[in-house]
């Protein structure tokens, strides 16, 4: 059985930032579709974007933690 790869976190900040950027793009795309959505679909989009905003905040907190860990 091969040895597991060592835990390389050197690019975590970059990966997390890319995830934030992608999520922001998804929010923008969803907001553009709101004008074409009906009541229930509109509410689903709004709810999903709220969850996306929460995820972004969590990812930004993780970015801060990773940056701090890398620069100690």
Check: pTM over 0.95? Answer yes or no. Answer: no
Within a domain: 2: no
| CA distance linking residue 12 with residue 1, whole number of Å | 27
Phi, psi of 6, deg, nearest 5: -65, 155
- What's the pLDDT score for residue 5? 78
Within a domain: 4: no
- What's the pLDDT score for residue 6? 77
Give CB contacts under 8 A, 24+ apart, made by 17-21.
17/63, 19/59, 20/56, 20/59, 20/60, 20/63
**What residue numbers bound the domain in which 52 lies?**
12-70
Within a domain: 42: yes
Within a domain: 32: yes
Please count the structural domains in the chain.
1
Within a domain: 6: no
Within a domain: 58: yes
Within a domain: 5: no
Decide if pLDDT at 26 tops 80: yes
Q: Give the H/E segment covering residue 6.
A: none
Within a domain: 62: yes
| CA distance linking residue 58 with residue 66, whole number of Å | 12
């Amino acid at each position: 059985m091969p040895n597991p790869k060592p835990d390389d976190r050197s690019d975590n900040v970059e990966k997390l930032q890319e995830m934030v950027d992608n999520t922001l793009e998804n929010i923008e795309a969803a907001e553009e579709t709101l004008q074409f959505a009906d009541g229930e679909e509109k509410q689903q989009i709004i709810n999903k974007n709220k969850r996306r905003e929460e995820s972004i905040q969590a990812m930004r907190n993780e970015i801060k933690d990773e940056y701090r860990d890398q620069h100690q």
